Amino acid sequence: MEDNRPPYCAPRWHTHTFVHDYGSRATRSPAPYKKDGNNVRGPQQLMALFRYSLLSLVVASLFVASTVAVLPGRRMGFSVTHLAPRASLNQTWGQYSPYFATTPYQSPPDDCEISQVNVIERHGARYPTNGATERILEALAQFDNVTEFTDAKAAFLANYSYDLGVSTLIRAGAEESYDAGAEIFARYNALVSDDAIPFVRASGSDRVVDSATNWTAGFSAASDYFFNPTLNLIISEELNDTLDDAMCPNVGDSDAQTDQWTSIFAAPIVERLNSAAIGANLTATNIYNLMSMCSFDTLAKETPSPFCDLFTEDEFEGFAYVGDLDKYYGTGYGQELGRVQGVGYINELIARLTGEAVVDNTQTNRTLDSSNETFPLDRTIYADFSHDNQMIAIYSAMGLFPQTTALDPTSPDASRTWRAANLVPFAARMVTERLACGEETYVRVLVNDALQPLEFCGSGDGTCTLDAFVESQAYARNNGEGDFEKCGWVPESSS
């Protein structure tokens, strides 16, 4: 059934502006704190958390009853995880997978209290980009030449009309970011008070900005509107932007590796679908783009797409590996100038964790990072919004997800930990927690709720001292150890 609703970006009550007027709520005096186990909560936080928990129980019961509660601009109970026609299929869509937590969240050790949280999050689910749209349309045009469909599953293509938008967020993507904001409040509300509101930045793309404002809306709603963060800073993607680096013109790409694997895994699919659609003359590249429609069409229409039924689960595993290769050889370990693009953010993270000024000679904007208005060092929660390729560079610069051998473009290693669906699904997030454990300060890093081992700082159990963590980040602290100079960036003017 055709969906004639307008594109869904930010919730209607929350647009992407810098300043929001919430009346007197923003000027109340901080409430006295009360110790509660490992958390410190004031009466306002406790009441907000109770209301949020009660709302969650109500929503869950309504979902079980197959009833959808509706709020302005938001459908409570909607879950993209139930849209795929087959179980777990949506986790084989690579970077086009909807958000999912790869493991349940693990609380910090009993003798530790969280003192600071740093979130960097990918934008939520979107329509295909301009380039992807062109490639999808090229694949669909092949069916104009079909004289006969011999497989009923492909027959819908005889009269199919492409109707997706371009690049902007979809409703499912808005939900992902909204829910992420609510989750951060529920998990870390002890860090929130009138004087401790999250500081929020976003890279300049519309879908990233809208994701940030959806996140702040979810955070506010979860607190029953006691605490209302706003988007404090939008960073232009033209120059110095640690949330979307554009300062490495010499960087290579992943085309050789992704093309090689696509030609291998898609070969039998080409033969099968060309037999199912006589005259289509599909290529391996066409197959990949048709497979991407399983995700894009499903998430946009909020119902399983007929494109999904054209392919098997094993074939989608092959599709997912294209995404793994793309990220690994695009801005990951397989790209010589990949991880250097994440150095600026790592140095900003170190500054926040230590409370000391940013020291960096790569992507950071010195004007912004030297001002307390645009880069404060006294907040308890920071939330930044970015893109998948940038987050891959950041993971790699930090040392997360190392592989014993480079990804093979001819044969996937089933034991690999480098999987785009686990690393950068839509609304992916890396959370760095600073912990106070007695007299010592520690750091934990979670990616999509999975606690990272941090073996590079001598941990292995996911918790290492702040000093050891900072020491382990020598690549970033040394400005990419010469890699940034290889990028070929020539600034028009210093910033």
Q: How far apart are CA 241 and CA 137, in angstroms?
A: 32
Residue 340 has pLDDT above 60, yes or no: yes
Of 431, 450, 443, which Cα lies nearest the Cα of 471?
443
Evaluate whether the domain defined by 23-127+168-252+330-486 bears CATH number 3.50.50.60. Answer: no
For 50-102, the pLDDT digits (tens) are 444 443 433 333 232 322 222 233 433 334 444 555 657 889 999 999 999 99
Residues annotated as catalytic are: 123, 388
DSSP state of 169: B
Of 225, 232, 234, 216, which Cα lies nearest the Cα of 194?
225
Residue 9 has pLDDT above 50, yes or no: no
Residue 269 has pLDDT above 80, yes or no: yes
Residue 289 has pLDDT above 60, yes or no: yes
The predicted pLDDT at position 400 comes to 98
Q: How many CB atoms lie within 10 A of CB 159?
A: 7
Q: How far apart are CA 321 and CA 39, in angstroms?
A: 41
The predicted pLDDT at position 491 comes to 76
For 362-377, the pLDDT digits (tens) are 999 999 999 999 999 9
CA distances in angstroms from 393 to 104, 253, 415, listed in the order given: 25, 13, 22
Residue 121 has pLDDT above 80, yes or no: yes
Helices then strands, counting H and E runs in the chain, come out as 15, 14
What are the structure tokens assigned to 118, written together? 């740093």
Mean pLDDT for the stretch of residues 113-139:
99
Q: To the nearest whole percent, how much of the chain has pLDDT over 70?
A: 82
Exposure string of 223-261, with b = 16+ CB inside 10 Å and e = fewer, is: bbebbbbbbbbbbebeebbbbbbebbeebeebeebbbeb
Out of 8-22, 33-47, 157-171, 299-313, least confident range? 8-22
Q: How far apart are CA 241 and CA 73, in angstroms?
A: 31
The predicted pLDDT at position 83 comes to 57
What are the structure tokens assigned to 412, written together? 């996937």
pTM: 0.85
For 133-153, the pLDDT digits (tens) are 999 999 999 999 999 999 999
For 435-462, the pLDDT digits (tens) are 999 999 999 999 999 999 999 998 888 9
The predicted pLDDT at position 2 comes to 39
For 399-443, the pLDDT digits (tens) are 999 999 999 999 999 999 999 999 999 999 999 999 999 999 999
The predicted pLDDT at position 414 comes to 95
What are the structure tokens assigned to 31, written together? 């409430």
Q: Residue 493: pLDDT band by 50, 70, 90 thresholds?
A: low
For 174-201, the pLDDT digits (tens) are 999 999 999 999 999 999 999 999 999 9
Q: How many CB atoms lie within 10 A of CB 416?
A: 16
Q: How far apart are CA 35 and CA 38, in angstroms?
A: 8
CA distances in angstroms from 317 to 43, 258, 295, 307, 419, listed in the order given: 49, 14, 13, 15, 11
